[in-house]
Structure 1
Amino acid sequence: MGFEITVIIPTYNVAKYIGEALDSVVNQTFKGNVEILLIDDCSTDETPSILEDYKNDHPDRAITILHQERNARQGTARNRGLGIAQGKYVFFLDGDDTIDPNTFEKMIEKAEGSQCDFVMCDWVYAYEDRKLMYVNYDRFLSNEYLEGEYCERLLEAATYFTVNKLYNREFLLKHGITYGEGYIYEDYEFYVEVAQRAEKIGIVSNPFYHVRVNEDSTTKKDRKTTIHIDSLVKAVEATITKFDPRWEQSYYHLYKYIVKKTMNYIRERAPMGQKRKTIKKVLTILNRKRTDYYVPRDVVPLFYFYFRRKYVQNSRINQLILIDDLHHKGQLTPLFRKAMKAKETMLKNKTISKLNQKRLIAKKNNELQRYEELSIKENVILFLGFDYRYIGNSKYFFDYMMNRTHNTHELYFVTTNKEVPSKYRITPRSLKFYKILNQARIVIGESWIPLDFKKKEGQEWIQLWHGTPFKKLFFDSHEPFITTFNKNHKRDKQRDISRWDYLLADSTKAKEKFTTAFAYPEDRILNIGYPRVQWLKDNRYNQELVKELKQSMDIPEHKKVILYVPTWRDYNYKKSVLDLDYTLDISRMQQLLGEDYVFINKDHSMGRNQLKSPNVITPPNTLEVQNLILLADVIISDYSSIVFDGLAIDKPFYLFINDFDKYEKARGVYGDMARDLGDFFITTEEKLAEKIVKEDVRLDHLMRLKRDYATGDDLNSNELLLEKLTRTNLVNF
């Protein structure tokens, strides 16, 4: 039997975690043949017996257990596994880590589809309480692939992991790439070699590899011996000996990594008297290789002193230690900025203004600190709205709860919108807001929640989100345009995600996508539908309301209404001149359709569709989009989730998409959804007009879509959400 993948897992005293690691391999969605090689490195706990039991409990799995004759560390164990591996691809997994169920399926799909030497996925820290923490900000992760000399961009990484990669075994064998043996930091040379030998690397944007935060890890012990610094010097020597880069920036990035790690290790793990000796040894190895390498001009203060001031190249050890100490204490950057700006004078009025400002800030901080000491009130629910707006799921669920009889809870909505009655309305970031935020038992959001809002122990935060994603969302997308301008984008957003206790979904397909997009536990996603869609279901036959809406917008009753709602394009992010070629030419559509149709234009890009015509209406922002869906006869969009809202009440829709390839590079859409929706894709105004006139939407196709993309008509989302909150004891009603 041939194996597509060999998983190599070295083990040493991981009895507490190895079962979970193996479960994560066995429970992959990938259906191909997987070989599991377990190499135990003379464990002294129950690890060997756990491995044997696991193998016996899984006779249908190709599990091989090998025992080392002596403890020789992970590099030796991994090399032994690599020597007997039979799979086309090799994946290394540490015995205390885990992988997401989709890991192999997604990685091998990219590997097979583009002939990569290896494919890497993103990674995340995993804590004992199942909380994940994303800390990565490597800019190269915004690429689908790295090719040629740019494969060495891997050397830019803040952490050199070899375990989150699916290697073509022939690639490793061809170049004789193996791990270092007999010392701790054995993966340095392996990591550098695969980067400098690869011709093509595929990148999966999801953080599928979960690095357990394990204080018992072998790389954190023996701090009173020289084992760490001796291993570090050996690893650096072996790595630099094999270092032969193609890219001009590779020296800088590798040396930066090694020097920074060296300074960290000597601070945390070196015995007394070994600090300067170790730095000197490492710098000697680096500078013997080369000192005249490229250094970027725009670098952070730490690396400015290290490399632009040439403390590294000139082996200025005392200065390196001083700068590292200032950096570690958080003092380097402020001092650097002061020195660069060199402000010698300050106007008196500015001084007074700043003093007053400081007093006001201090007063507010004192108030906030006092609020943090308040106890949680079991019956308080705080709605943050959709970025403080009274719209969407937040509005409809709030309205439902506000209008219930026999309420015993306090409701608050954070907004300036006066449609919310004053007794419920709270001004964003006011002192009252912070007071209620600290008293609320439940906090409900519908978009990203600011990180400075502190979650208290005992609170439950519910994320309603704002739509079923057709365009790839967050971790499912490389988001190259956004991450180019904000390297901390994903790290900051994941910090918010980690605070959500529950996430609302509107369909089985949405739940599936949210699981990978947010790296979020499936069992905490509530697939019970959206309150805003429930409003549509409740009013789908309300002809009186439709009549009122048409009258309010001066739409003749006999005319058919076409709602046009395009979505934002990532490739216009931070652009002063927007590329609007993707938009529908409504003027042309009017010519093709005639006077029997009215367009409601929700395109607010200020592009070519700002037309003055009685048959083209630009609705006010204050008008809820659900009203527009209700009165529309046809919906035209592209990548927006609005079509799934309409699908719930059987609204015909078309997707006008003329930039698919361009959008795919900028953000991308989910491939399975694109296939499901392919029959609704239209690329020209002429074809679209023809479809609309013929009413060419197959009802049976809509019904099939509803099974995966909508909740059942018999479900009431508001009631189910309230029931879930009550059943899980989130609040006492």
Structure 2
Amino acid sequence: MPRFSVVVPAHKVQGFLRVCLESVLDQSYGDLELLAVDDCSPDASGAIIDELAARDARLRPLHLPRTGGPGPARNAGAAHADGDYLLFLDGDDLLAPGALAAIDARLRESGDPEVLLFGHERADIWERVSPRDDELSLSGPFAAFPAAWNRAVRRDFWQLLPGFGDGPYEDLPLAYDMLLAAAPGRVACLDRVCVIWRERRRGSFTTTPGRQHFAVLARYDEVFAALGPGPGAAAPSSSNAGRADAAGPGQTTGPGPGHASLVGTAHAVVYRAMADRLLEVLDDPRRIAPADRAEFFREAARSLRRHRPPGYAAPPGPEGVRLRTAVAGSYGAYRALELGAKAARTLGGRKNTAARKAYAQYYRTQLRRPVDENLVVYGAYWNRGVSCNPAAVYRKARELAPHLHGVWVVNRKDREAVPEGVDCVEVNSRRYWEVLARAKYLVNNANFTGEVIKRPEQVYLQTHHGTPLKHMGMDLRAHPAAGKSISFTRLLGHADQWDFSVSANQHSTEIWERVYPSDYETLPAGYPRNDAFFAATADDVRRLRAALGIQPGSIAILYAPTHRDYQRDFVPPLDLARLARELGPGHVILLRAHYFYGAARTAGLPEGVLDVSAHPSVEELCLASDALLTDYSSLMFDYANLDRPILVHAADWDTYRAARGVYFDLTAEPPGLVLEDEAGIAAAFRSGAWDAPAPTALRAAFRSRFCPYDDGRAAERIVRRVLLGEPGLLPVLPLPERTVAPSPRQVAPAGSPPPDHAVSVLPDAAE
């Protein structure tokens, strides 16, 4: 029988659940079982639970047939628990490192009480930690925030309790009930942060406005009914009464089973907690909608008057003024107080911040015109041209939705590279602001330039442009080399504009939902740009190689190193001259420098190396190559679809990982051979080890994990779902049933003549 049973209910938390469960399984104290309860979640929460359960036998999955809410899900998990103590943790929160060891030590020190309360921290998306809601060292158990997840409960004692309710704020009454039901001397405190409560921006109960939040009023009515009439109505009935809020750490308290009233200052402590909670809910627009604020205020004021202990004095300072104003019951006075505080903050900010420049009058005028239902605006790589996932969507839309007119936004210097026949506008031109204001659909793999206002009628599709190995989005705040030029406020504002976010795999889905926290719908559709890998034929592969000047029978190695945030200029991590010499005749290196550096940085390359950095299609380069050699570029995830060899040059892995941050250890879960230097890479090709059974098996596992949706129909899925409004997504062809483009070694007969002109395997954008 384990010491601890940790119960985690999970519903629509796929972006947070994995790290939550790992925070339990990675505890230094390992005598535990983890009961993860899939509350019939419509996302991949259940799959994440099953995946981790397959790795660690301590995780016991439980899948409920229908959604019941967090309360019933916790009850279901507790019913299957075997541990001495129960702990409850929400699926988007974290158990602090060392928490279970500290809890176990405190339990033993205090004689294994029925309830142990411990501290927590609130951390928002900026990782700003709010002041603790509970100071157990000062006020004792009844000062603890009334929640399910800040206490350990003896399982035999839990079985005497009624369990959690099934409505909003379901844990609030039970949090107090268990303190009242505990036997005298059987409640203890641990004044240590054991749980990190992660406040989500969107998607959680506390960030969803609606009248369901009125339930907090009824829950506090239940609490005070259990507490009794208050200290002024009756004398203490036992020697323990009135001590609940005065106990410090190490003391055990409790009014005892059946005790009908809680007297002394504990009643005031609970009242103050209620006042803070009700006003917090009232003032939070993510919970109470503007139309409901006045009604909620009136109901809260009645509760504050009804449950106020005799002689209760409001605290000093602004908080006391807020409370007295609320108790008085005048919403007008409370609103005036609130507006006064807001005006003071605004005036203070204007002393240090210049007013934003007003939008151009032309843009404001266009925003008042009707939306053009047949207009789509596309952008890629910060306006560098027609490419990547948006380009594949554009081509498929011309085929399936010819009534839609697509316009590309491009930088002035990139306009000449736009294919003939493609309508485009320059960034910050008059027409740029016109089409952004009026287009029904916005499609991008990064973001649009300028302060773009997304209208409610518009639909924004974020395609992204790679699977994340390195840290992205809000995770970059911890990495100044990469995040120094990023405005994270603008980043969040941009994510708030998205209606759809494309995902190539479950790994990406989890990362995007956590680092770009907003209300968009994730489309597990695959990356449209990878459709080319399934459309290309043997003739296409031959023609692409000939157009690049690759001699028949040669092994073409696509070398695509990623950029380093700590390097200003492009410095190839490999000595390409040495590598070309070591490889010898019959090999050619196709150098694809990262677009951040530009093609001009690759001048003076040795014989045997072709600079393809300026080639317009990386997909064509992949099709023309026999193998990919990279370090940490996300291109490896796309290339894996081709089921061709991938080699990883990881000489500076530790430096890269420390500087940028990564989501998994690539050297432990690689798509093929991991090599340190030029000699090792060349030896792998000369010996045939580059395509031997061992790296082939690694590639198969990598492909299975990161290429679940790419089957050649990703663009069609997206066009039908987003641009045509069809419900659902087209089914995905299973991996074994897919037919990918043949490799060069399968199609290139010796001495094949090159074509007399360059041929593109991708459809012309103007077709």
TM-score range, shorter chain: 0.5 to 0.7
Counterpart amino acid of residue 184 in structure 1:
R
Q: CA deviation at 1:566?
A: 1.4
Alignment of 1:426-505 (within 5 A): 426-449=425-448, 452-475=451-474, 479-481=478-480, 485=484, 488-489=487-488, 491-505=489-503
Shift, 1:511, TM fit: 3.4
Match of 2:196 in 1: 120
1:710 aligns with 2:707: yes
Aligned-residue offset at 1:455 = 1.3
* Equivalence for 1:199: none
What CA distance in whole angstroms lies between the structure 1 residues aligned with 2:74 and 2:314?
39
Whether contact under 8 Å (1:658, 1:684) holds in the other structure is yes
Tell me by how many angstroms 1:688 deviates: 1.6
Offset from partner CA, 1:666-694 (integer Å, 9 cap, x none)? 23333376543175322222222211223
Cα 1:691–1:55, aligned 2, differ >3 Å: closer, same or farther? closer
d(CA) in 2 for partners of 1:482, 1:132: 35
Counterparts in 2 of 1:638 and 1:377: CA distance versus 1, 3 Å: same
Q: In structure 1, which of residues 213, 223, 234 is the aligned counterpart of residue 287 of structure 2?
A: 213
**CA 458–539 in structure 1, closer or farther in 2 if over 3 Å, else same:** same
Residue 330 to residue 693, structure 1, CA distance change in 2 (3 Å): same
Give CA deviations for 1:210-247 in whole Å, capped at 9, x if unaligned: 9963578999954998999x99985x9xxxxxxxxxxx
The corresponding residue for 1:394 is 390
Matches within 5 A, 1:6-25: none
Once the two structures are TM-superposed, the CA of residue 505 in structure 1 deviates from its matched residue by 2.1
CA shift in 2, pair 1:270/1:33, >3 Å: farther
How do 1:562-577 residues align onto structure 2 when only pairs under 5 Å count?
562-570=557-565, 572=566
Correspondence for 1:596 among 570, 582, 586: 586
Alignment of 1:611-630 (within 5 A): 611-621=604-614, 623-630=616-623
Work out the CA distance in 2 between the residues paired with 1:220 and 1:616. 75
Question: In the alignment, which residue of structure 2 is the partner of 1:181?
Answer: 269
**Equivalent AA in structure 2 for residue 646 of structure 1:** Y
Distance 1:81 1:712 in 2: 37
The structural deviation recorded for 1:425 is 1.0
Q: Is the 8 A contact 2:383 2:409 kept in 1?
A: yes
Give the letter aligned to residue 603 of structure 1. A
Q: Per the alignment, in what secondary structure is the counterpart of residue 381 of structure 1?
A: strand
Counterpart mapping for 1:138-217 below 5 A: 181-182=269-270, 184=272, 213-214=287-288
CA distance in 1 between counterparts of 2:80 and 2:637 reads 41
Cα distance in 2 for partners of 1:585, 1:266 equals 69
Find the residue that maps to 1:125 and give its secondary structure: coil
For 2:346, the equivalent position in structure 1 comes to 330
Deviations along 1:52-110, one digit per CA (max 9) or x if unpaired, are 9777777735589999xxxx9973574999676359xxxx99996899xxxxxxxxxxx
* SS, match of residue 630 in structure 1: helix
Where in structure 2 are the equivalents of 1:51-450 lying within 5 Å?
Answer: 60-61=79-80, 75=143, 78=146, 85-86=153-154, 118=194, 120=196, 122-126=198-202, 181-182=269-270, 184=272, 213-214=287-288, 221-222=300-301, 265=319, 271=325, 328=344, 330-335=346-351, 365-389=360-384, 390-402=386-398, 404=399, 407-416=402-411, 417-418=415-416, 419-421=418-420, 424-449=423-448
State the distance in 1 between where 2:703 and 2:451 align. Answer: 39
Q: 1:709 to 1:84 in 2, by over 3 A?
A: closer
Which residue identity does 2:200 align to in structure 1?
A: V
Asked if residue 526 in structure 1 is aligned to residue 520 in structure 2, the reply is no
The SS at the match of 1:671 is: coil
Q: Secondary structure at the match of 1:330?
A: helix
Deviation at 1:127, TM superposition (A): 6.5
SS at match of 2:454: coil
Please point out which of 647, 666, 691 is paired with 2:659.
666
Over residues 460-493 of structure 1, what are the superposed CA-to-partner deviations in whole Å (9 max), with x where a residue is unaligned?
A: 111111011222333566642258736852x432
Q: Matched residues in 2 for 1:439 and 1:480: separation?
A: 38
Which residue identity lines up with residue 657 of structure 1 in the other structure?
A
State the match for 1:155 in structure 2. none
Contact 1:380–1:409 (Cα < 8 Å) also in 2: yes
Contact 1:225/1:271, CA 8 A, preserved across alignment: no
Task: Give the 3 Å change call, closer, same or farther, for CA 182–585 of structure 1 in structure 2.
Answer: same
Identify if the C-alpha distance between structure 1 residues 406 and 223 changes in structure 2 by more than 3 Å, giving closer, same or farther.
closer
Contact 1:76 1:182 in 2 (8 A): no
Supply the distance in 2 between the matched residues of 1:183 and 1:431 (Cα, whole angstroms). 59
Q: In structure 1, list runs of 5 or more residues that go unmatched.
A: 10-20, 35-48, 100-115, 134-171, 189-209, 237-261, 275-320, 339-357
SS of residue matched to 2:272 = coil
Aligned to 2:722: 725
1:382 is paired with a residue of what secondary structure? strand
Q: Conserved in 2, the CA contact under 8 Å of 1:441 and 1:459?
A: yes
- CA change 1:231–1:395 in 2 (3 A) is farther
Whole-Å Cα distance in 1 between the matches of residues 269 and 465 of structure 2?
A: 51
Matches of 2:396 and 2:440, distance apart in 1: 19
- Structure 2 stretches of 5 or more lacking a match? 10-36, 61-67, 89-113, 116-139, 156-163, 172-191, 210-247, 255-265, 277-283, 329-336, 729-767
Cα drift, residue 442 of structure 1: 1.5
- The residue number in structure 1 matching 2:260 is none
Q: Identity over the aligned pairs, expressed in percent? A: 16
Pair 1:507 & 2:502 matched: no
2:722 is matched by which residue type in structure 1?
L
Give the distance between the partners of 1:518 and 1:98, measured in 2 at CA. Answer: 29
Distance 2:613 2:570 in 1: 24
Alignment partner of 2:688 out of 660, 683, 695: 695
Amino acid across the alignment from 2:2:
G
The offset of 1:540, in angstroms, is: 5.1
CA distance in 2, matches of 1:470, 1:122: 23
CA distance in 1, matches of 2:547, 2:313: 72
Distance 2:147 2:527 in 1: 52
**Cα distance 1:384–1:182, how it changes in 2: closer, same or farther (>3 A)?**
same
Aligned position for 1:654: 647
Aligned partners of 1:75 and 1:181 also within 8 Å: yes
The letter for the 2-side match of 1:501 is D
1:703–1:530: structure 2 CA closer, same or farther, 3 Å change rule?
A: same
Q: Secondary structure at the match of 1:564?
A: strand
TM-score w.r.t. structure 1 length?
0.57
Q: Deviations over 1:614-672 (max 9, x none)?
A: 32233343532222222222211122111122221223111111222222222333337
The 1:184–1:669 alpha-carbon spacing in structure 2 relative to 1, beyond 3 Å, is: same
- The question of whether the paired residues in 2 share the 8 Å contact of 1:376 and 1:458 is answered with yes
Q: How far apart, CA to CA, are the structure 2 residues paired with 1:636 and 1:187?
A: 62
Secondary structure (helix, strand or coil) at the match of 1:677 reads coil
- How far is 1:567 from its partner? 1.3
Q: What SS does the corresponding residue of 1:562 show, helix, strand or coil?
A: strand
Deviation at 1:372, TM superposition (A): 1.1
Q: 1:546 & 1:8 partners in 2: Cα distance? A: 53
Give 3-state SS (helix, strand or coil) of 2:607's partner. Answer: coil
Aligned partners of 1:715, 1:547: CA distance in 2, in Å? 22
Letter in 2 for 1:331: L
Confirm or deny: 8 A CA contact 1:443 1:462 kept in the other structure: yes
| Per-residue deviation, residues 573-611 of structure 1 (Å, max 9, x unmatched) | xx76x796x812222212321243222222355999754
